[in-house]
Chain A
Amino acid sequence: MIDTLPLILGTILTAATPLLIAALGEHVTERAGVLNLGVEGMMIVGAASAFAVAVLTDSSVLGIAAGALAGLAVSAVFGVLVVYLAANQVATGLAMTILGLGLSGLIGQNFVGQPRAPIPPIEFPLLKEIPVLGKALFTGDPVFYLSLILIGLVGYGLNSTRFGLLLRAVGENHTSAHALGLPVRRIRFIAVLFGGLLAGLAGAYLSLIYTRFWSPGMSAGRGWIALALVVFAAGHVWRLVLGAYLFGGITVAQLHAQAGAIGLPSQLLSALPYLMTIAVLLLLSISGRRGSGAAGSLGQPFVPER
């Protein structure tokens, strides 16, 4: 047990990282008042593009960059529609998810089943010798460390910088923000692009680091779970991080239970992450946090008066 614990911790971190990255991006988007239901689509386009480019150029670094940029490209389309054309955010987000699932299939069709070598981990000498936690925390993949930096960046950026303050003001009440002379639509567009970039990066993590192969539909609802994590976070980055690692834990526990054949149908175990999402949202509501945390103008299109 002592030998396997660091391994299990490692897999939890790997399972949680794509959720964390995508949720951090969506957190910023929602703080600016835009609900992006296209996260799932941007994630899977990122996964397919990252894998395709990594195989074609034989470079995982280029692959990861391509994945992030592909997510950014889809989010640019989304942004133009919802921010500049004031289109319905729910329907447009769904359109992006449907479009993204199809597009990822087209991009990935020649790469199904090809294996990809792992990216060498970054090892911290000495620190990795710390019992139990050391190996999991200090021999991780580069994107895992990037995700830790992103946590700090998003937390600091939103709470302690001028741009973060403006972004939150735009999300809280776009009419007041506009009256104060803030460029509501430009700030929202930037927030959408940031969310898309991170969703694409999360997808790249899935195909190049988590599974290391491409298969159609491999995001399997993780984009939606990231959206739920943002609700769970209720405006606090630390809760978002907690939620992501909790879900990583559930995913890994579920996989171990399936391998261990504990007598429950495998489908029930596979359904656990989705059922848990609903259960967590329910617990959150019962504990009295109803309606709190979401940005005031979330989901409403903004059309400036002339």
Chain B
Amino acid sequence: MRLVLVSRRRISRQRQFATPVVALLVALAIGGLIVWLMGRSPWRALQVFVIEPLTDPWALQEVLLKATPLMLISIGLLFCFRASRWNIGAEGQFLLGGICGGGIAILTHGMSGFWIMPLMMIAGMLGGLAYAAIPAVLRTRFGISEILTSLMLVYVADLLLDYLVRGPWRDPKGFNFPQSVSFSDAAVLHPLFEGGRLHLGLVLALVVAAIAFVLFRRTLFGYAVAASGDAPRAANFAGFNEARITVLVFLISGALAGLAGVVEVAGQVQQLRPGFGQGLGFTAIIVAFLGRLTPVGATLSSVVIAVLLIGAESAQVSLKLPYDLTRFFMGLLLTCVLVGESLDRYSLEIQRERT
């Protein structure tokens, strides 16, 4: 007896939708088991991780705020992953975006003017874009794997941020804390509604998602990206230049991760300090796969993951569950999604050994 994979001819629509949902439920069940093994009530954990963030209006706003950078980064990553270009350094591009956008805020500190915010966003996008261009060019010009270079640059970006907020950009009145000045009014994203917390970032993210949707559905470029991932040789023969697509998808994902960085520092943090990235650039990779590499899927999964992240924050306080449990859960979730994808493409059949 042995297990064989049999290719499915086509994957039904229901299956495409159901797989990530089932993967999420399986991951939650395993997570619940672990919580139980750690001596806490899994029902109480479900309450804190899933139900409370969705029912409490204040928490719901926090969820959408957390989902915003995830949406921006994961939509960018779709372009890379669809084309089978493995940009796993979005966290670094995200940090660079925050550093460049935040740099403008620090340089214009005390000034006012409507131009400051757009300038920050442009600077952040250019920062992320330039940072993503490094692995892209190293791949196209020198044939170096983009996986390792993009990842190495995350550590470098982390150290650059650390240097800046401990060195030249440290707040002189900040009691030696490693943080910059608090941004002035003009460099902050203000709430859209009186008394609320939601800001322009979410609107931007939704617009970006809509543009990506149209690009993938209706344009030759979107088609070329997908084709070069699915059938690189065929795409080459069809005249889609491999190197140009590599550079383009990296620039798009870098710019969007950079924009996410500006939105995060101008909206949530309102200053530069170490660790503002919170690993969201890595989490966005999980979001992209949970959303089956589609813009609509990524938008929805950003919210799902954000619910769990907000739940995790309160579970640290109310259930004394360590944050590492959530990290572990995220890896588990991605694992379940990938198993699901395999079972979509192949059906498992048991074959009797011929004697």
List A residues at the B interface (Cβ < 8 Å).
Answer: 37, 41, 77, 81, 84-88, 90-92, 94-106, 109, 216, 220-221, 224, 227-228, 231, 265, 267-268, 270-271, 274-275, 277-278, 281-282, 285-286, 290-291, 303-304, 306
Contact = CB atoms under 8 A, between A and B. Distances in A.
A278 B138 contact: yes
B303 interface: no
A292 to B, nearest CB: 10
Interface residues of B, number: 51
Interface stretch (B102-110, B143-151, B205-213, B262-270): B143-151
Nearest to A88: B338
24 contacts: A37-B88, A84-B3, A86-B346, A88-B338, A94-B334, A95-B286, A95-B338, A98-B331, A101-B327, A102-B325, A102-B328, A103-B328, A104-B324, A221-B155, A265-B167, A267-B160, A270-B159, A271-B160, A275-B156, A277-B148, A278-B152, A281-B149, A282-B144, A306-B6
A57 B127 CA distance: 50
Nearest to B34: A106
Contacts of A41: 331
Chain A interface mostly helix, strand, loop or mixed? helix
Contact of B327 (A98, A109, A220, A265): A98
A268 B161 CA distance: 11
A179 to B, nearest CB: 17
Contacts of A286: 142
Given A99-B332, A109-B322, A291-B143, A87 B351 contact: no
Contacts of B155: 220-221, 271, 274
A281 B330 CA distance: 31
Interface in B34-71: none
A224 B289 contact: no
A303 B5 contact: yes
Contacts of A275: 152, 156
Contacts of B335: 77, 81, 92, 95-96, 99
B142 A304 contact: no
Given A98-B327, A99-B335, A102-B325, A90 B149 contact: no
Nearest to A225: B152
A277 B286 CA distance: 26
Contacts of B325: 102, 106
A97 B289 CA distance: 16
Interface string B6-24: 1100000000000000000
B324 A109 contact: yes
A237 B174 CA distance: 52
Task: State the 8 A-B residue pairs at the shortest beta-carbon distance, nearest first.
Answer: A99-B331, A105-B324, A102-B327, A102-B328, A98-B331, A95-B334, A267-B163, A285-B142
A41 B7 CA distance: 31
B144 A106 contact: no
A92 B325 CA distance: 19
Interface in B129-183: 138, 142-145, 147-149, 151-153, 155-156, 159-160, 162-163, 166-167
A213 to B, nearest CB: 18
Given A102-B324, A291-B143, A304-B4, A85 B148 contact: no
A306 B328 contact: no
B163 A265 contact: yes
A101 B329 CA distance: 11
